[in-house]
Structure 1
């Protein structure tokens, strides 16, 4: 009878240099989105286009919006623990891409008002 060898995945905090750069990009995009959202709304009079973010802003202000984004970031960090190491780059990319798009949209809207 042949024995089956199962590979078990163990969570680890080891972060490759590539993954660390991706997390840095995701966090920078988070900060960029927060700063440009604040500037666009508070100083230029733009309105939040995301209905969920608009609701959080209306009820809890910019601190609430920051908290929501930090929770999303935390979920991504926690989620990386349950995937095999070869796929850990996916979580920061899934966070960075929409935030980078938001940064680009906000920057274009702000530049269009100047």
Structure 2
């Protein structure tokens, strides 16, 4: 008796209409990623992550602190021009890391030519 009742109850609903996929649709062949327009980047920095928010305006360079322009990490050629022994330990580690990375890339490139 229980079995009959369970089979008679409408547990499922009608399946929704199937969307046309990549191969057979008129809905464009996009990847599904959200597309946003950036606009003019010379006046605004496009870093807003909220739906209802505004991007901060770009200010002249003299209104930013001086340290902001030196925040970029040094590259290997810039480190080579310096005395490594006088650098802080963190910078020395970065130098050796970059140097090892370059040596590995050179060895890999030399091995591919064989």
Which structure has more relative contact order (CA 8 Å, sep 6+)? It is 1
Point out the structure with max Rg over C-alpha. 2
Greater percentage in helix: 1
TM-score (norm 2): 0.27
